[in-house]
Chains A and B, each alone.
Chain A
Amino acid sequence: MADVQTLNTVAVGTDPVTDRISGPRGAKPRPKLSRRNIFIYGTLIVVAAYYLVPLYVMVVTSLKGMPEIRLGNIFAPPVDITFEPWVKAWATACTGLNCDGLSRGFWNSVQITVPSVIFSIAVASVNGYALSNWRFKGADTFFTILIVGAFIPYQVMIYPIVILLREIGLYGTLWGLVIVHSIFGMPILTLLFRNYFSSVPEELFKAARVDGAGFWRIYFVIMLPMALPIFVVAIIIQITGVWNDFLFGVIYTKPDTYPMTVQLNNIVNSVQGVKEYNVNMAATILTGLVPLFVYFVSGKLFVRGIAAGAVKG
């Protein structure tokens, strides 16, 4: 009987049932145009514009003819679209005695970048694996020396390396530059791989050793498949770093073997004749296309790789 009594009192009193229906329910509504949103999207738009406007100017300028450029309105879209500057930048622009445009530099850069990336990453990943898992005698000293190497300014080493390359007969060749890039990429890449392999549970390595796998079998069969995300990161770092390099390229190669960046500089900075802004812009975009492409393609892989690693296996 007491139960009925209680139910009645509640029902007569405040009617909690209606209260429950009319009160707040579900997800809290958020205004679209809140101060927070304005701030966040505003900042994003400003930053995006800061980076995109120069690109826009470059693209439109490269599509204009010289008469149109002389009008001086750099933001105006091209009235008469022409691809002439692109063709010229790629195939016929002159630097010094060579008049085959950027194409020569492009192939030089490819020949420099591909082996540099493969070689430096192959060595650095094994370095990092050995340093984090095998802890050989003197591993810490070796690692310290390598890291100190990363902090020494490049300028200090330029001349000794010139002599070194001359002595081994590689000065001015593409392979000389490949060696230089591989050496200078080593500290940061080794650090990258060492830290990544250190995060792999040590017990996994121990289990593989108990299973009888040796240094290379553990590296290739166990560690390598797990390290794909960090390989993508290393490839991005190396490709962009080597492709964008100017200093080593200009020092360690000759006009015939100049990488694309050096050739771009020579086209843009040539002092004879008229400044062909449209050709310069097209040449610059062409040179920047490779890193851009790498970011777009591997960026996605990169994020996917990280996400796959985040779910604990």
Chain B
Amino acid sequence: MQSVSIRDLTLKFGALEVLKSLSLDIEDGEFLVLLGPSGCGKSTLLNCIAGLLDISDGQIFIKGRNVTWEEPKDRGIGMVFQSYALYPQMTVKGNLSFGLKTAKVPKDEIDRKVARAAEVLQIEALLDRKPSQLSGGQRQRVAIGRALVRDVDVFLFDEPLSNLDAKLRSELRVEIKRLHHRLKNTMIYVTHDQIEALTLADRIAIMRNGIIQQLASPNEIYNRPVNLYVAGFMGSPGMNFMEGTLTGGGPDGGPQLRFGSTSIPLDRYPFAADARPEKVIFGIRPEHVSCGPAAADEPFSADVEIEVVEPMGADTLVWAILDGKEFRFRVDGHSDLDEGDHVRIGFDPARASIFDAGTELRL
């Protein structure tokens, strides 16, 4: 059953179309992450689902009910904001119970629900404190609790971890994931952080200029991006891109990619589209490249000259030159590669992504 369903949602601010006829179905209990750079419309979409923004066209269904014209409180949603948005003059308990009091829930029931939420989020000891006496992580827990007490169908998270420092962020990320396992609510989570997206999501929707570029599992998005934009957006460091021409006459008579004096055999590449344009862009992730003795076993290998070595602890990022083009690859942290070295690298073209240079779509 679909938990949230969006049909042809359009939002205009004057002449500016922020969301363009966007449709999206979210399954019951799914954790969906809306991912994209700032200004792509992801937070706007979340605000539309919450009912905080009036839409220009389209429909929104939550649990099969058309909520397009409903007030936020009647949509069965709870929302967690980046700045926590706790009411500063109320205690934690006051913050948690405000929504219930507004809904005129009986007092003993409020107490029961607040106690349960506090237990789930381990903030029982903080109930009588004011938000100003809490740390960032505690404040965000209270903010989540505010959605929790109201027994909502759908949780909406608007970049909830962006204001936290790196360590707290990874802790709370795990906690949100744990919460999702426990509650099994539908959750829609907006972020610009791909690590959050990859770790939390059942599915990721990558957005750009008000349009969803790709909606798929993290694995699919990472390994089989549908277009050049998604390929370039996901992954850090990003994918290596090489412009080249697609020709026949490879080693086994199959297709091959030529750029400069290099040719990469593509007979193992799983082409998804029938089109065979001449100009293509070939992309391979730095972590799919092997180096040293292992490289010789790969279907494609070549010699590169190393320009810069960036040790990053667990692994090392190497910037090299492949046939006159910049080429990055990842080796493990113990590697003793040095600037100026010549090494052999190799990869399996089956793990690459090839895009039509004209349409930028995956082939």
Contacts and interface: CB of A to CB of B under 8 A. Distances in A.
B85 A203 contact: yes
B82 interface: yes
Interface stretch (B70-78, B297-305, B332-340): B70-78
Contacts, number: 63
B50 A210 contact: yes
Interface in B138-159: 143, 146, 150, 158
Given A201-B83, A203-B83, A212 B89 contact: no
Contacts of B79: 206-207, 210
Contacts of A213: 98, 102
Assign chain B's interface to a size class. 20 to 34
A3 interface: no
Q: Helix, strand, loop or mixed for chain A's interface? A: helix
A225 interface: yes
B87 interface: yes
Contacts of A211: 73, 98-99, 102, 146, 150
B64 interface: no
Scoring B77, B82, B99, B143 by chain A CB atoms within 10 A of each residue's CB, the highest score goes to B99
B50 to A, nearest CB: 6
Scoring A201, A222, A311, A313 by chain B CB atoms within 10 A of each residue's CB, the highest score goes to A313
Given A207-B79, A210-B77, A201 B99 contact: no
Contacts of A207: 79, 81, 85-87, 143, 146
Interface residues of A, number: 19
Given A203-B82, A203-B85, A226-B89, A210 B132 contact: no
A312 B133 CA distance: 11
Given A207-B146, A209-B73, A313-B131, 7 more contacts: A206-B50, A206-B52, A207-B87, A211-B146, A212-B103, A217-B102, A313-B88
Interface of A: 201, 203-204, 206-213, 217, 221-222, 225-226, 311-313
13 contacts: A203-B82, A204-B87, A206-B85, A207-B87, A209-B52, A210-B77, A211-B73, A212-B72, A212-B73, A212-B99, A213-B98, A221-B98, A313-B131
7 tightest CB-CB pairs across the interface, nearest first? Answer: A212-B73, A313-B88, A211-B99, A203-B85, A207-B85, A203-B81, A225-B89
